[in-house]
Structure 1
Amino acid sequence: MSDETQVTEETIREALRGVLDPELHLDVVALGLIKSIDPQSEPMEIKMLLTTPFCPYGPWLVQQVKEVAEKAAGGKAAKVEVLPEMWNPEMMEDPTMLGFF
């Protein structure tokens, strides 16, 4: 990839706003599920959380994050790691979006 087409973390993060949690109907970035993105590593590395440890949509969300990131990066391979950290609504960009606060 040339410098002119080098993918940035922001490019990937913006693309991931298109991945919605099917239960909460909010995107994975707004929910605070995306913890880090390293677009320069081979393969690109994305670390994320799930909303619950046994989220029934977990495998689907991980696959969607991988596919959307790879497309945004022009086909560069991505590896998505699910972290063991527990998610809570305070991790959201705007915790009031769920109406808990």
Structure 2
Amino acid sequence: MNEDSSLEDRIISVLKKIYDPEIPVDIYELGLIYDIQISRKKEVKILMTLTTYNCPVADILPIEVKEKIQSIKEINNVNVVLTFDPPWDRGFMSEEARLELGML
């Protein structure tokens, strides 16, 4: 396992502790994280979305993601980019999330 994959695993572990307040599933399993990029300088870019355009946590969830990822000591900078392209839908959810929500 190389250093970046280990760091990515730790980032994913942190993301799995952040929950959408309206849905009892973490944002990673919910499929809200589209991409995680880690540069050689240990700068992280998270491409994420929300369940809807007018999501009530649109102002706070990306900030929470940034702050919690930034708390990983090796990371020098975190940039969270919010996108709605493609728009989120239930197909992005993991099987675990669908099971948790009774959708399987």
Please give the range of the TM-score, normalised by the shorter of the 2 chains.
Answer: 0.7 to 0.9
Gaps of 5+ in 2: none
SS in 2 for 1:8: helix
Given the two structures, how large is their TM-score scaled by the length of structure 2? Answer: 0.80
Gaps of 5+ in 1: none
* Amino acid corresponding to residue 61 of structure 2 in structure 1: L
CA deviations on 1:15-64 (whole Å, 9 max, x unpaired) are: 11111100002111110111111122664100001010111111211011
Aligned to 2:90: 89
Q: Name the CA shift for 1:73/1:33 in 2 (closer, same or farther; >3 Å).
A: farther
User: Does the CA-based 8 Å contact 1:20-1:27 persist in structure 2?
Assistant: yes
Distance 1:48 1:41 in 2: 21
Q: Aligned Cα RMSD in Å? A: 2.4
| Length, aligned pairs only | 99
